[in-house]
Structure 1
């Protein structure tokens, strides 16, 4: 059904709906991502072609990855790679690689298999970080490892999206095409690093001279959107370009000034990305490939538990703490939505259902992780303190 409502009225309905769902999520501690996607699915027939919703969702995802890139200066990237690389590549192999093989076994082509592998790969940073904070587990032994895995996935996910965008054209893709694609990615990254060391070397001082906050917003959003657009013009994804734009500015002294200016705009627009994704899902034909969906849900949960139990040991955690880490990594969310947005038809519907169910199951496993760990390994022994009696 084509929308009969004015575009501006559509926008007002969406904003009020986002407020109500955000309020419900705040009061119930239920992930807003799931609520926004379900809201979009409910509005699919009414607002499928809403131009404002589409544009705001594009800008929102650019700003999300721009702010993510701000966290990664070149020194930090090197430090993370040294500490978490073995567990990170284990995650890639289990969550992405094995899932691809499962999908291929169900008769899917390599592109669809890679896309479904991407869906199952990245843990939701927003859901996991929120649960760690809500449950008072930020100081736990496994939290550093969990955050390390999330950061590693944050680095890999934009590359996966860039490859999917290139493959989605439907044209034949040879080894030479892959080499050219990787060359574009490396080239775009090198340009970002060069600009960070030259043009943006004194960017912090320049920002301090701009007293009007509105002009700062225009400048910073402009940088993020421009570099994202440059990536698109090269046949890559705006996600990768925005991430590299953040890396480009990450070398400045205090990134808090940039984050403080851009974050409110991102927070305002980001829900529209999930709502828009929901509006692109047509549930009229029911649940596609239910057997694959069930198998994928089971395997993707198990894969993250293995990333915790095996990767945690490689990281130096105990068996108990490693299992608790694995049970806390199962929720999928924003990165899976970005990857699913590349799909079309039944695979997009499949991806939407997978994301909603896996986010809910991941949240349950996170909540019950301490109890499950205690059930398997028993209650942890209290450390004995060597008290010295004063003489």
Structure 2
């Protein structure tokens, strides 16, 4: 008689839990992402090292960013890059640099302080992108700026991770290592551009000839997973690779043909990412380094608000859209988890608690962003057909 709990049964139960929590979130008006993360925390011991959950979560996050990449062809991405770099550098200074200094002021050593800065740096791409999609804000004026910042952070965060992993493993992180990382990012991006302009230039016609939807799913998801996997193989983020894979296919005329095939699989897999994310959060006993925790949480929220209010206008946004962007960038997530894996002991528990609180506060601020903006700036003036009102 088998006494081991079958993983297949576990997978089925997780999907049923996801369904129930998604339904519950509509009733109690709490973002379903929060409930998925809490489910992961509650089931952390039971789901530890669950390979099916881990694989499903990887597929979900890859497909989310693959579909995001479809919205950005090379021409549009180039235009965004020119506009976002001042705001991106401001983000590095505020969220990574100043947070590191705050940790130093609490008598942490340089490595631990930089680790805390790294954990507080990157906005959760997965949580933010999911909420943008769920709340129908993809067409908002500030969304391009938010996505541009997320992409910029996805370029910087792997370098931060590599530095921390290099130092923690005892290896020396030299300028050669740094330039090798930058070279990998540049090479992967260049390859995506070349493939997009050559191999995938006439991809739409090829898709039209595939009548069987099963083959189409295999092809499109295979491209997304392969390029995301290539990024991982090179020591970069699968999120970056998946975005670039989407960008390759963005050159085709009608991206809807790709989206309608991939959407159902993404919607099935993506909730598992947040459940898995919850299982990685280690809370420990009590509240470690409470004053530092409070200080870092407060500053990390203020840093993103300043990024929106100051960086938004640099990108060309109105004050209203800039504030809404800042309020929407506060959640921390997957890169924070990856960076926190380097931590040990008290710092590990500190990191887990910070990520959970920052993710929760960030999602609440995202939800309230439109109302807060309206309260400060009043209701937006509706545009007339023959009149364009500045600042809207």
Same-fold status (TM-score > 0.5): yes
What is the correspondence of 1:319-358 to structure 2 with a 5 Å cutoff? 321=320, 324-325=323-324, 328-333=327-332, 336-344=333-341, 345=344, 347=347, 349-358=349-358
Give a deviation string over 1:96-135, Cα, whole Å, max 9, x none. 33223323444254476256435443264236526864xx
Residues 118/255 of structure 1: CA separation in 2 closer, same or farther (3 Å cut)? farther
Q: Which runs of 5+ in 1 are unaligned?
A: 386-391
Give a deviation string over 1:278-329, Cα, whole Å, max 9, x none. 122333434333222211111112112222332344456665x267436633
| Structure-2-length-normalised TM-score | 0.82
Counterpart for residue 181 of structure 1: 181
Contact kept, 8 Å, 2:281 with 2:356, in 1: the verdict is: no
| Structure-1-length-normalised TM-score | 0.83
Counterpart for residue 389 of structure 1: none
Q: Count residues with an aligned counterpart.
A: 371
Q: In 2, distance between residues paired with 1:184 and 1:338?
A: 19
Counterpart for residue 20 of structure 2: 20
Q: In 2, distance between residues paired with 1:23 and 1:164?
A: 38
Could you tell me how far 1:52 is from its partner in structure 2?
Answer: 0.8
Contact kept, 8 Å, 2:374 with 2:380, in 1: the verdict is: no
Give SS of 2:200's match: coil
Give SS of 1:188's match: helix
Counterpart for residue 212 of structure 2: 212
Counterpart for residue 389 of structure 2: none
Further displaced range: 177-186 or 98-107: 98-107
Contact kept, 8 Å, 2:228 with 2:239, in 1: the verdict is: yes
Residues 257/119 of structure 1: CA separation in 2 closer, same or farther (3 Å cut)? farther
Residues 283/275 of structure 1: CA separation in 2 closer, same or farther (3 Å cut)? same
Could you tell me how far 1:25 is from its partner in structure 2?
Answer: 1.5
Tell me the C-alpha RMSD between the 2 structures.
Answer: 3.1
Counterpart for residue 147 of structure 2: 151
Contact kept, 8 Å, 2:336 with 2:355, in 1: the verdict is: no
Contact kept, 8 Å, 2:221 with 2:262, in 1: the verdict is: yes
Residues 131/293 of structure 1: CA separation in 2 closer, same or farther (3 Å cut)? farther
Counterpart for residue 163 of structure 1: 159
Q: In 2, distance between residues paired with 1:192 and 1:56?
A: 25
Give SS of 1:285's match: coil
Give a deviation string over 1:2-28, Cα, whole Å, max 9, x none. x95221121122111111111111223
Q: In 1, distance between residues paired with 2:28 and 2:83?
A: 36
Could you tell me how far 1:368 is from its partner in structure 2?
Answer: 5.5
Counterpart for residue 242 of structure 1: 242
Residues 211/340 of structure 1: CA separation in 2 closer, same or farther (3 Å cut)? same
Further displaced range: 354-363 or 257-266: 354-363
Further displaced range: 336-345 or 226-235: 336-345
